[in-house]
Structure 1
Amino acid sequence: MKWWKIIGLGGVFMLVLAYVGTSFYFAKSIVKPTPMTLAEEEAWEKEHGLWNDFDQYEVEEYTVKGVDDYPLHVTLVKAADPNSKKYVIITHGFRSNRNGAAKYVEVYRSLGYHCIIYDVRGHGKNAPATVTLGNVESKDLLYLIEDSYQRYGSDSYLGLQGESMGSSISLNALQYQPKVQFVVADCGFTNLYDLIAAGYQANHVSFLMPGVSWMTKHIYGVDMKETSAIDAVANNQSIPITFIHGADDRFILPENSQQLAEKNPTPDTVKLVDGAAHAASREILGVAGYQALVQQNPNVK
C-alpha cells in the first residue's frame, strides 16, 4: 500500500475516532449530568435574591419510591395555615435540585399552598442515575402525586409547577391523566431530540446529532424522541396550563411554549416575560409579579 493511502486511512480513522469520542462526550453530558449540590444551589439562589424566607419555613423531609423503587428525596414546605388542603409539587430544572425550587415556594405559599419540592432522579441527594429529562421522570412524578394523596388526604387540592426540565416532566405526566388541578410550565421544551438538534444547529455542529442520538439510545438506553411534552399535552383532557417563558431565552426558545399551547386542547395561556433569559422569569418579575401570572390559571386559587 502506498504511503499516501496509509496517511489517508489514518486520517479517516482519526476523524472517525474524534467523532465517536465527541458524540459520546455530549451524549453523556445529556443523560449522565454532573448536578449541583444542595449547598451550591442554595448559594446560587441566595446570591440572586431568590431564597426569600425559606430558612424560616417549617419543613418535613421524607423519601418516596419512584419507578423501579428508585428513592426520591422530598421536602414538604408547610403553609402558614396547617389546615390548608392546597398543595403544589414543584419540579426543578436540569442539573439543579429541590433547592432550585425554593424560588417558587413563596409564590405559592402566600396563596395558602403547601409546597412539595423534591430531587429529580440523578439529582440532589438521590443516587446517580441515567436521566431522560421527562420520559421516566414523569412516571416518578406519578408516584409522588399518588403518595401526596395517600399522605395528605384524597381531598387534597394538588397542582404542578415545573421549570425547564421540570416543565418537561410535569407536561409529560399529562399523558397519564394524573389527578391534578393545574400545571404551570416555565420555559419548557416540546421534545428533547428537537431541543438538542436546535441547539447543535445554532452552534453549527448539526453533524454531531446522529452520533449523539445513537449514543444516548444504544449506550444509555435513552431515546430522546420519547421525551415529548408536545405529544403528551395533545392528550391532556381537562387540566388548564399556564405557560411562562422568558422572552430573551436563547437556550429554550419561547416558540417552544407557544407550540405546546397550540397542541394543548384545554384552557391555557402563554406569558412571555420581557428581559428574562432562560429560567429567569421569577427573578425578573419578583414574587408578586410572578404570582400574578400564576393566578391567571383558572384553577390556581
Structure 2
Amino acid sequence: MKKRLFLTSLLSTLGLGGLGFYITNRVMYLPKKDEEFIRSREVEAIRLIEEDYASLPKHEVLIPSPYGYDIHAVFVTPYPHNKYMIFSHGVTENKYNSIKYMNLFIKKGFNAVIYDHRRHGESGGKTTSYGYFEKYDLKAVVDELIHRVGDDLFFGIHGESMGAATLLLYAGSVEDRADFYIADCPFSDFGEQLSYRMSLELKMPAKFLLPLVNRTLKLRQGYTLKDLSPLSVIQNIQKPILFIHSSDDDFILPQMTMDLFNKKQGAKELFLDFKGSHAQSYNDNPEQYEEVIQRFLNEWVFKEKEKSL
C-alpha cells in the first residue's frame, strides 16, 4: 500500500512538473513572426517606405546585453541635436514594426533608436521574459545612447504591448531616466494576463496553475510572475506617461491600462478612444494617434522642459 501511494505521488508530481514545463515553454518560446513577413506587411500597408527609410542617415549598432549577447539596434540621426526617441516593440515583432512610430517622431524633430528585443529580430538571447530581462536590455540601449550623445540628452521611450510593459518596468524598477514615456496597450500584471489568456486559449484552471508556473519559472529562469508587474512599480515613475489603449482590445484588456493610469502619480494622460484590435491603435487611427501624442507633448513634455530652462 505504501509503495502504491509513493508511486501515485511520484507520478502526480512528475505530471505536474511536466505541465509546468509545458506552460512555461509556451511562455518562454512563443513563436515569433518571420522577419520578412513583418517587413512585407509594413511595406504593403505603406507604414514602411523602403526608399525613405534607406535615405535616412543611420548606422547599425551592436550593444552588449548584461546577459552575454548583442542587442541589435539602429540609430537614426536626421538631426544634429540631442533629442531622441527609443522604441520598444511587442512580443513576436521586431524593429521593423517600430518604424511607423519612428516616422511619426522624426516628423516632430526627434532622432530615433529602434532595436530588437532579446530572442527577436537580429538580437541574441534564447528566451522571452516579458520585461524581466528586457528591462535591463533597455537600460543598455539607454546607456549606449547617453555614451554617444552625452548627459544633456533629451529623450522619450515609446513601447507597444510587451514593449510598453518593458519600459514601465525599466522606469519603475531600474531607473526613471527618460524625460517621458508612451505606453501603448501594456499589461499591468503578467500573472493576471497569463491567467486570462490561459482560461480562454487552454481552457485550464489558471487560479490553480499559476503557483506551478511561478515555481517552474523560478527554477528555469530565476524570476516569478510577481517580477512582471508594472502595476507594482508604477508609483516609482515621476516622469510624464501617456497611456494609450484601444477600447476594442480583447487580447490585453483596456482595464489594465486604466489600472496603471489610476495608480500613476503626477503627470499623466490616458486615451482609450481608439478603434481596432490589440496593438492596432496607430494602424487603424494614424491621424488621431498623432494628435493624441502631440497634445501630450505640448501639455506635459515641452511645457515642463521650458520651465526647467
- TM-score, normalised to structure 2, is 0.85
- Determine the C-alpha separation between the residues in 2 that align with 1:260 and 1:13: 42
Which blocks of at least 5 consecutive residues in structure 2 are unaligned? Answer: 304-309
Return the letter of the residue paired with 2:100. K
Shift in CA distance, 14/49, structure 1 to aligned 2, threshold 3 Å: farther
Classify the secondary structure of the residue corresponding to 2:221: coil
Which blocks of at least 5 consecutive residues in structure 1 are unaligned? Answer: none
Question: 1:202-217 alignment to 2 at 5 Å?
Answer: 202-203=200-201, 204-205=203-204, 206=206, 207-217=208-218
The match for 1:247 is 247
- The structural deviation recorded for 1:126 is 1.6
Give the percent of matched residue pairs that are identical in Structure 1 and Structure 2: 26
- Determine the C-alpha separation between the residues in 1 that align with 2:284 and 2:111: 24
Paired residue for 2:44, among 28, 32, 47? 47
Classify the secondary structure of the residue corresponding to 2:122: coil
The match for 1:152 is 149
The match for 1:233 is 234
- Kindly provide the CA deviation profile for residues 254-277 of structure 1, in whole angstroms up to 9, marking residues without a partner as x: 011110011111211111143221
Question: 1:129-144 alignment to 2 at 5 Å?
Answer: 129-144=126-141
- Kindly provide the CA deviation profile for residues 64-92 of structure 1, in whole angstroms up to 9, marking residues without a partner as x: 1222343211001223xx22321000000
Classify the secondary structure of the residue corresponding to 1:290: helix
- The structural deviation recorded for 1:17 is 6.3
After TM superposition, the structure 1 stretch with the greater mean CA deviation from structure 2, 193-202 or 46-55, is: 46-55
After TM superposition, the structure 1 stretch with the greater mean CA deviation from structure 2, 50-59 or 87-96, is: 50-59
Aligned CA RMSD, in angstroms, stands at 2.6
The match for 1:74 is 73
The structure whose RCO (Cα within 8 Å, separation 6+) is larger is: 1
- Determine the C-alpha separation between the residues in 2 that align with 1:10 and 1:248: 50
Aligned 8 A contact 1:142 1:178 in 2: no
Return the letter of the residue paired with 2:253. L
- Determine the C-alpha separation between the residues in 1 that align with 2:158 and 2:234: 15
1:65 aligns with 2:64: yes
Shift in CA distance, 46/157, structure 1 to aligned 2, threshold 3 Å: same
1:192 aligns with 2:190: yes
- Kindly provide the CA deviation profile for residues 72-119 of structure 1, in whole angstroms up to 9, marking residues without a partner as x: 11001223xx22321000000012111121121111010011110001
Classify the secondary structure of the residue corresponding to 1:51: coil
Aligned 8 A contact 1:182 1:300 in 2: no
- Kindly provide the CA deviation profile for residues 107-136 of structure 1, in whole angstroms up to 9, marking residues without a partner as x: 101001111000111211122323321122
Shift in CA distance, 37/182, structure 1 to aligned 2, threshold 3 Å: same
Return the letter of the residue paired with 1:64. I
- Determine the C-alpha separation between the residues in 1 that align with 2:262 and 2:29: 32
